[in-house]
Amino acid sequence: MEKKYEKKYIPVARMLRKNMTKEERHLWYDFLSTYPIHFKKQKLLGKYVVDFYCARAKLVVELDGSQHESDDGRFFDERRTEYLEQFGIKVIRFKNIQVREKFHSVCKRIDEEVMQALSSQLK
């Protein structure tokens, strides 16, 4: 990444960390915070704040509420994903309802993505 992050977005990241959604808190406290490969929550990457980021696996995990279903929301998400992919970062997305109703499947998918990324780094 040409810049680690843009300083003007630091207050936004801090606010988002303090005001995580119920689904973000559930995924963080019940899985990612104790996951053996370190994740950060509400991580500032360039000009974007991502929900969760694992630097070792170059993986972003995004949780999508209803605002992501609008045309503007989808457009913003596509631009952010394209930006992150330029730096070899993979983005996976889950709808909030998946976290609520299929939590173990979400956790399993995240684990599979991390393990796949780490194993491909060894090759």
Buried residues in 10-29 as b, exposed as e (16+ CB within 10 A): eeebeebeeebeebbebbbe
**Does 107 map to a domain?**
yes
pLDDT tens column, 40-57? 999 999 889 999 999 999
**Does 78 map to a domain?**
yes
Domain count, the chain: 1
| CATH code, domain carrying 63 | 3.40.960.10
Q: Look at 64 and 37; give whichever has higher pLDDT.
A: 37
Question: Rounded CA gap, 68 and 66, in Å?
Answer: 5
Q: Do 1 and 45 touch, CB atoms closer than 8 A?
A: yes
Structural domain of 117: 7-122
Position 38 confidence tier, pLDDT thresholds 50, 70, 90? very high
**Residue 21 confidence (pLDDT):** 93
pLDDT tens column, 69-116? 656 777 888 999 999 999 999 999 999 999 999 999 999 999 999 999
**Does 1 map to a domain?**
no
**Distance from chain centroid for Cα 8:** 20
Q: What is the mean pLDDT of the chain?
A: 89
Residue 1 burial (CB count, 10 A): 12
